[in-house]
């Protein structure tokens, strides 16, 4: 075990875990932030997507020892009031069905818009390609990203 002082959603938290513990486990089991979901555990579905210093990463495949003093942001920290333009657009377009993949979808989309505020359809497809939705909400996700992009622009 080792002690890590992790910056999670703007607060520093001391976590005592084995160095190879995936960040997803740290978030859900230690920090009690359960918005980030476990899907595949092998970096293939995107359900566990968080931001590390603003860039989308798969937390299931990220050992806690690799984070250092970088800022971790989860869906709970994307916007304090839950009013990030993407979250509002998700409501407007009634995107979720079962909802399981959606935190990861929103975090991935937020990273996309941060780097590319006016993405084309092809840009959205390329960026969101690795985020799987078994309910097939892809068209509404795309519409919501476009709406958020317009609002942010």
Q: Which residues bind ligand FES (CB under 6 A)?
A: 38-41, 43-48, 58, 60, 96-102, 133-135, 137
Rounded least distance, CB 41 to ligand FES, Å? 5
Long-range contacts of 139-147 (CB under 8 A, 24+ apart): 140/93, 140/94, 140/95, 141/95, 141/105, 141/109, 143/93, 144/86, 144/89, 144/90, 144/92, 144/93, 144/95, 144/109, 145/86, 145/89, 145/109, 145/112, 145/113, 145/119, 147/85, 147/89, 147/92, 147/93
Q: Which is nearer to ligand FES, 5 or 91 (CB)?
A: 91
Rounded least distance, CB 97 to ligand FES, Å? 4
Q: Which is nearer to ligand FES, 61 or 65 (CB)?
A: 61
Rounded least distance, CB 118 to ligand FES, Å? 25
Q: Which is nearer to ligand FES, 39 or 119 (CB)?
A: 39
């Amino acid at each position: 075990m080792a002690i890590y002082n992790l910056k999670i959603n703007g607060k520093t938290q001391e976590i005592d875990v084995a160095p190879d513990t995936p960040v997803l486990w740290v978030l859900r089991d230690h920090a009690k932030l359960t918005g980030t979901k476990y899907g595949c555990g092998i970096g293939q579905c995107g359900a566990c997507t968080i931001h590390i210093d603003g860039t989308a990463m798969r937390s299931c495949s990220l050992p806690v020892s690799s984070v250092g003093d970088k800022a971790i942001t989860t869906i709970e920290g994307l916007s304090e009031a839950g009013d990030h333009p993407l979250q509002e657009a998700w409501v407007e377009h009634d995107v979720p069905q079962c909802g399981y993949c959606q935190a990861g979808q929103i975090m991935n989309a937020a990273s996309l818009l941060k780097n590319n505020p006016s993405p084309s359809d092809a840009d959205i497809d390329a960026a969101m390609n690795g985020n799987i939705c078994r309910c097939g909400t892809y068209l509404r996700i795309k519409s919501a990203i476009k709406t958020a992009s317009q609002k942010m622009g």
